[in-house]
Structure formats: structure tokens, C-alpha cells
Structure 1
Amino acid sequence: MDLQTVMQELEALGKERTKKMYISNGAHEPLFGVATGAMKPIAKKIKINQPLAEKLYATGNYDAMYFAGVIADPKAMTEADFERWIDGAYFFMLSDYVVAVTLAETDIAQDVADKWIASGEELKMSAGWSCYCWLLGNRPDSAFSESKISDMLDQVKNTIHDSPERTKYAMNNFIYTVGTSYVPQHDKAVEIAEAVGPVEVKKDSKKSTFLVASERIQKEVDKERIGFKRKYVRC
């Protein structure tokens, strides 16, 4: 399949209602409004195709950029490729659910995510913290330095309330993910969640949202799901 054919197939799957929902979350034109599940039949036909993924991502069309992440070959991507992708990720559904997810399937994931977290840029920071969430929820505990994760929890505790709005989401999710999926630091994550308390996230023209990691961790404790790992990062 070439770029033009894929774009035509995606356009045919677009729904106005889905498009409006994406726009309300921060997407902008061009986009078709394709539900992610509706992309699966095309993905099955194409499988993995990095050159095509690069062309799709470069279109700037939200649905094409999302689909690029579905068919990308993460292990064929360099740090420079990920920098290019994060620079093109103009809102959180791209930074956290396309770029961070794709990065989480590479050997360079932690190194790149560390740089993004330290960048001071809202969506890069968000992608960096989100990448760790995808990693912790998939890789064995032995793949991480316990002291490093402990230091990261301290960093969240000290900076989350003063961080950019979208970064707050990812940092709060990091506390929850450590508490749920990384057993060596479960107890500390619970402590940090309690210390941080509700995290207020302001939204344009909408009421603030309050995120409470401690309640989410407790739900997983009640379900006896501590230590939960996903089999795959990408669906």
C-alpha cells in the first residue's frame, strides 16, 4: 500500500462525531476522525512498514500520524527520528499515545525519556513520563534501577503541582503506575501519592480536574493486581 491509498482508506473511515471529539481534546485540521479500532484491518494488511510510517507522520494529519505509530518499526528508529516525531506531536494524544508508546518499544527508551523529562517543555516532559508508564507496565522490574525510580518519585512529589498542565497528568500517572506495576517501589509510591494529594489540572474554559493517584492505586490493591504487566505496549 502506498501513502495515497492509505490516506484514502483512512478518510473513508472518518466519522464527524469522532472528529469533533478529537478536536475537543486538542487535535486540529487536517484530520478525518477515525476511531483507533477501525484502523486495525488496514494495519493487518500493512503490518510493519517504517518508510510508510514516516510518510504518514509527515502529513500532519492527526489520523495518519496516529496510524504511523501503529505500523512503525520502533527498533529501526534512531534518537534523531524520535526527536523529529516529538517535535511534530502538537498535542497530548500524539506525544503520549503515539510517540511515547513507540519509544517504549526501543532499547533507547529510558535515555531519550530522561532527556525529555529534563527539557522543561510541556509535551516533551509529558511524553517522557508517559514513556516510563508504558515501560513499567510492560517490562520486568529488573529492567529498571530501583534507586532511579525512587528518585523520580521524589522529583514528582517536589515538582508536580508547579508543572505544566499536561505534564501533571503524566506525572500523576507515573505515581499510579509505579504503585501498580513496579513492586520494589510500591510502598514508596503509596507514600508519595498520599503526600502529593489531589492534583489540580486546569482546562481551557472548562472546570478544573482533580487527579488522585492514591485512590487509583488503592483500587488496584483491592483487586489484587499489584505487579500487573501488559503483554504488549502497542495494541
Structure 2
Amino acid sequence: MAELAALQDPKAREINERHGDDHGVNLGKLRAIAKRLKTQQELARGLWETDDSAARLLAILICRPKAFGRDELDRMLRQARTPKVHDWLVNYVVKKNPHAEELRTAWSADPNPVVAGAGWALTAERVAKKPEGLDLSGLLDVIEARMKATPDRLQWAMNNCLAQIGIEHARYRARAIAIGERLEVLKDYPTPPGCTSPFAPVWITEMVRRQDDRTVS
């Protein structure tokens, strides 16, 4: 904890706070510490319990994802106060855990929009990598009915799911694009030069174009 405290940079913290995060540790330096420590599950648990965001990010990097129980991960997600901790927990830990599918189902229906966002992030992962058994048409129904009015974090995850359906599943592509065009979610999101817009119709069209270019080449 002393080492993490010494790495706090006020300017980095100011930038992070604009995105809802509350730490000022350079993530490259954080990863260097994790590389030195290697996997240490009990240390990871101890770091998590400090409630310090930098410590929790480090905990995620040095933990053993498959070692967490279902209820433990549910508790951790609800404790993850900041967007970066939330995202890393879902992407680096939950997605690699044997309880991921059970949590995906439970979280997607949770009344807490941040928790539900984690469920939709896991659903988007399944849409792209393991869609067997998913009701893609039903997911589009829910997205069409709910995405426009949902809070930001949940909306972002649902939009990601919409885009993945359109990118990966040609049968539903036209409908996914039509839903995105009608709802206009993230249509005006500021996108840096050279980056793809998160607006689903643009995102889908661009990623499919890249897939087609790879196929031709």
C-alpha cells in the first residue's frame, strides 16, 4: 500500500476523476508491480478488502480468476465503486471464472443498473464467442425496448451487445443496424480520429467491412 501511495500522481488522478475513477496510479507502473509479484491469491484478497481502487486493480492483476466462488464474485462486483475496477473485474476475472454463465444470467436481470451492465457485458462476450443457446432475437427485443432509457453504464453494455449481434451474426445484421439508427444511442459520442465510433450502425458497418477485407486478402 505504501508503494502504491508513492505512485499517486495528482495530474493522473485529475484525469481519472473525469471518468469516475478515484486513483492516480499509472497503469503501466501498476502492471509492472503485478509482474513482479506474480500470482498471489491471498494477497489479492487482502488488497481487495482495502477498498482502495489502485489496490483493487492490482488485486485483479495478481489474483487467480478461477479461485473465486460465485457469491464472492457477486459481492466483489457490488463493491466495485469505480468504472475501471468494475470493468477489469468483469473482463479479467469473471469472464475466466467457471461461474461466469450463472452470474451473467443473474446480473442481467438485477435492478441495479451497474450490476445489470456487468451481465450485459458477459452477454456481449457470449454473442461474439459462444452464441449457442442464446436467443439473439429476444436480446434484440430487449435492447430495442430498453436501451434508450437506461443509465449510461448499462446503456453502454447493451449497445456493445447490439453491435456484437450485428457484427457476428449476418442474419440479424439489418435489424441490429435499424435498431441503432432508430434509437440513436451514442450517435454523437466524440470519437478521436482513427477510432471507430461506438454508434452501433457505424461500428457494425466498419467491423464487417474489415472482416470482408481480411477474407478477400
Which amino acid counterpart does residue 128 of structure 1 have in structure 2? G
Residue 152 of structure 1 is matched in structure 2 by: 139
Matched, 1:85 2:80: no
Measure, in 1, the Cα distance between the counterparts of 2:137 and 2:213.
17
Which amino acid counterpart does residue 193 of structure 1 have in structure 2? I
Give every structure 1 segment of 4 or more consecutive aligned residues whose post-TM-superposition deviation is greater than 6 Å.
Answer: none
Matched, 1:25 2:11: no
Render the CA deviation track for 1:17-72: whole Å, top value 9, x for unaligned. Answer: 211122111124xx3x1122222221112222221111111111111111211112
Q: Which one of the candidate residues 112, 136, 149 is aligned to 1:162?
A: 149
Distance 1:60 1:189, change over 3 A: farther
Measure, in 1, the Cα distance between the counterparts of 2:16 and 2:122.
22
Render the CA deviation track for 1:197-226: whole Å, top value 9, x for unaligned. Answer: 21159xxxxxxxx95111011111222279
Contact 1:53 1:72 in 2 (8 A): yes
Matched, 1:212 2:199: yes
Residue 99 of structure 1 is matched in structure 2 by: 90
Distance 1:76 1:147, change over 3 A: closer
Measure, in 2, the Cα distance between the counterparts of 1:126 and 1:172.
10
Distance 1:52 1:189, change over 3 A: farther
Contact 1:75 1:105 in 2 (8 A): yes
Contact 1:92 1:123 in 2 (8 A): no
Contact 2:34 2:62 in 1 (8 A): yes
SS of the residue corresponding to residue 199 of structure 1 reads coil
Contact 1:190 1:214 in 2 (8 A): no
Q: TM-score, normalised by structure 2?
A: 0.82
Give percent identity, aligned residues only: 24
Contact 2:65 2:92 in 1 (8 A): no
Q: Structure 1: which 5+ runs fail to align?
A: 1-6, 202-209, 228-235
* Equivalence map 1:108-187=2 (5 Å): 108-136=99-127, 141=129, 143-180=130-167, 183=168, 185-187=169-171
Distance 1:136 1:41, change over 3 A: farther
Residue 195 of structure 1 is matched in structure 2 by: 179
Measure, in 1, the Cα distance between the counterparts of 2:213 and 2:38.
33
Residue 46 of structure 1 is matched in structure 2 by: 37
Structure scoring higher RCO (CA < 8 A, sep ≥ 6) equals 1
Measure, in 2, the Cα distance between the counterparts of 1:186 and 1:130.
21
1:79 Cα shift?
0.8
Count of aligned positions: 203
Q: Structure 2: which 5+ runs fail to align?
A: 188-196
Render the CA deviation track for 1:72-119: whole Å, top value 9, x for unaligned. Answer: 211101111111111211232222332354100112212101111101
Give the helix-richer structure, 1 or 2: 2
